[in-house]
Chains A and B, each alone.
Chain A
Amino acid sequence: MDSWIYIGIFVALSFFFPALLAVLGWFLGPRRPNPVKQDTYECGLETVGETWVQFKIQYYLFALVFLIFDVELVFLYPWAVAYHKLPLYGVIEGVIFVVMLAAALVYAWRKGALEWA
């Protein structure tokens, strides 16, 4: 618990320091806004249309595969920590879990979900 107090303080400070820099910059720098300066930068051309455009759905497929992997990997960490105390049976259980993960990867690969087209 004691270490978590330290980590909590450290996390708070981690946000505080850059925020302090930003505030310093805000007060030390000049502020002379004008429409041209504040215009969206697009290599000198006028901006055309809305900024928020739609993107390829391909990104989404990767995101789904990633989500599954992330959840599975979290299960593996306690197993890896306990590894040295496990009997062969326990080690094999973990290996089966990893093989399942590999099967998921193979399926996504074969289906072309990992294809960037």
Chain B
Amino acid sequence: MTAMQIVFLLTAVVALFSAFRVVTTPNMVHAALWLIVTLSSVAVLYVLLSASFFAVVQIVVYVGAIAILMMFVVMLTRREMRDRGPQLGKQWPWAAVLAVLAFGGLTWLVRSAALPASPVGEVPATSVADLGAALVNPGGFVIPFEIASVLLLAALIGAVYVAWTRRNS
């Protein structure tokens, strides 16, 4: 076992454990904090795959924006520090069945896919520049790139519209 594999296994254990805590902890803010641990470990996994740009973006967008916003929203809306409601809804057997099915399906998919033996090749130092060039290359991803900006604009308009009408009524 190489050092890299040990780091990977440790990170994976941390990610899985914290993901488990996200859904089992009764306290919403604790759940958000565990989520931050999960997302950070995913960033470490990106680093292990030599995808450093995505590792940093993972932290900037998911930890820096989304997870903190979740904590923020919990603070804005919940009156109680500790939520003491039941952890399981009435439909939990159905959810369990669906979860097991999804897990089985994903396992089957991963096992049947022809994955390369070693995922880490040599990544050129200019990978970020290559990504940037590909984003605006007419032969590359220029249409998705521009559509992404339109999509985000639409998302913003939607968000402002929804929050605005709520506030006025």
By DSSP majority rule, is chain A's interface helix, strand, loop, or mixed?
A: helix
Q: Are the C-beta atoms of A55 and B133 separated by less than 8 Å? A: no
Most buried by A among B75, B132, B146: B132
Per-residue CB contact flags for chain A residues 27-57 toward chain B (1 = under 8 Å, else 0) read 0000000000000000000000011111101
Let me know if B30 is at the binding interface, CB within 8 A.
no
Q: Are the C-beta atoms of B52 and A54 separated by less than 8 Å? A: no
Q: Are the C-beta atoms of B60 and A74 separated by less than 8 Å? A: yes
Query: Are A67 and B160 also in contact (CB < 8 A) when A57-B76, A89-B136 are?
Result: no
By DSSP majority rule, is chain B's interface helix, strand, loop, or mixed?
A: helix
Q: Are the C-beta atoms of A107 and B160 separated by less than 8 Å? A: yes
Per-residue CB contact flags for chain B residues 120-159 toward chain A (1 = under 8 Å, else 0) read 0000000011111101111000100110111011011101
Most buried by A among B73, B128, B133, B146: B133
Query: Are A60 and B76 also in contact (CB < 8 A) when A89-B136, A89-B138, A94-B136 are?
Result: yes
**With the chains together, A102 CA to B151 CA distance in Å?**
14
**With the chains together, A36 CA to B11 CA distance in Å?**
43
Task: Name the interface residues of A69-99: CB closer than 8 Å to any CB of B.
Answer: 70-72, 74-75, 77-83, 85-86, 89-90, 93-94, 96-97
Q: Are the C-beta atoms of B166 and A57 separated by less than 8 Å? A: yes
**Size of the chain A interface, CB-CB below 8 angstroms:** 49
Determine the chain B residues whose CB is within 8 A of the CB of A26 once the complex forms: none
Determine the chain B residues whose CB is within 8 A of the CB of A8 once the complex forms: 44, 47
**With the chains together, A58 CA to B72 CA distance in Å?**
12
Interchain Cβ contacts within 8 Å, total number: 142
Category for how many chain B residues contact A: 35 or more
Shortest Cβ gap from B150 to chain A (Å): 7
Task: Name the interface residues of B3-43: CB closer than 8 Å to any CB of A.
Answer: none
Determine the chain B residues whose CB is within 8 A of the CB of A68 once the complex forms: 152-153, 155-156, 159
Query: Are A90 and B137 also in contact (CB < 8 A) when A54-B76, A57-B163, A75-B145 are?
Result: yes
Query: Are A82 and B152 also in contact (CB < 8 A) when A52-B79, A96-B146 are?
Result: no
Q: Are the C-beta atoms of B128 and A60 separated by less than 8 Å? A: no
For A63, give the chain B residue with the smallest CB separation: B69
For A72, give the chain B residue with the smallest CB separation: B152
For A1, give the chain B residue with the smallest CB separation: B50
Q: Are the C-beta atoms of B145 and A97 separated by less than 8 Å? A: yes
For A67, give the chain B residue with the smallest CB separation: B65
Cβ contacts A to B, 17 pairs, < 8 Å? A57-B167, A60-B73, A63-B72, A64-B160, A65-B159, A65-B160, A66-B69, A68-B155, A70-B65, A78-B135, A81-B128, A81-B129, A82-B131, A93-B136, A93-B142, A100-B153, A107-B157
